[in-house]
Amino acid sequence: MAERIRTFIAVNLTDELRAQAAAIQQELRAAAASVKWVDPAGMHFTLKFLGGVEAGLMDGVIAGNAAAVDGQAEFDLTLHGAGAFPRPGSARVVWVGVTAGAEQMAELARRIEQAMTPLGFPPEKRPFSAHMTLGRVKAPPGSGLREAIERLREAPVGTMRVTSVAVMKSELTPRGAIYTRLADARLSPAADAGGEGA
């Protein structure tokens, strides 16, 4: 059977922003015990989850990712506020949101979808939503978690410059997922990166 590599395409956080997001996570962690929290070392924004990719297709995935971001300008990404899907009172996923950079992230996701479809990866059925998962709720959330999310709904987190999009390998282990960066595709440096790029 052909080797398959569990793969996703993502924007990785800078160390500084990862620490700032971890601080928000820590405040939420103190309010709930029934949540599987993401390891701060692995915090990232998934633009496209590909699942098990045959090793022979990996060169095509890497080339497709590079083509998708070609001509896209660097931009600032600002994390702001905690939230939950579907809503705080019945949370299944706890996340931190995006203000500045949300449109550019959505454009990157759209381009990557287009690049991956010819390789046999079906497009997502749900529209892209720029958010970063902090934890997954394992049992009905108590009032403490709901109140903590509401309290942090407008909490500032931090800003980073998005300069690349990475093809990532994910290995599932009993201690959690191990992420390995396989290839980076760099965005175009720009003095004004407020738009979506060419």
Q: What is the pLDDT of residue 29?
A: 86
Instruction: Catalogue all structural domains in the chain, each as residue range(s) with its CATH number.
Output: 4-186 (3.90.1140.10)
Residue 155: count of CB within 10 angstroms of its CB: 15
Q: Is 80 a catalytic residue?
A: no
Q: Is 131 a catalytic residue?
A: yes
Taking CA atoms, 177 is separated from 40, 50, 149, 170, in Å, by: 12, 15, 25, 6
Q: Name which of 128, 19, 133, 35 is nearest 84 in CA terms.
A: 133
Written as tens digits, the pLDDT of the chain (198 aa) is 568 899 999 999 999 999 999 999 999 988 866 888 888 988 999 999 999 999 899 999 999 999 999 999 999 999 999 998 887 777 889 999 999 999 999 999 999 999 999 999 998 888 888 889 999 888 766 678 888 999 999 999 999 999 999 999 999 888 778 899 999 999 998 754 444 443
Q: How many CA atoms lie within 13 A of 108 on its CB side?
A: 33
Candidates 44, 48, 111, 146; catalytic one: 44
Candidates 131, 137, 145, 179; catalytic one: 131
Full-model pTM? 0.85
The rounded distance, in Å, linking the Cα atoms of 129 and 93 is 13
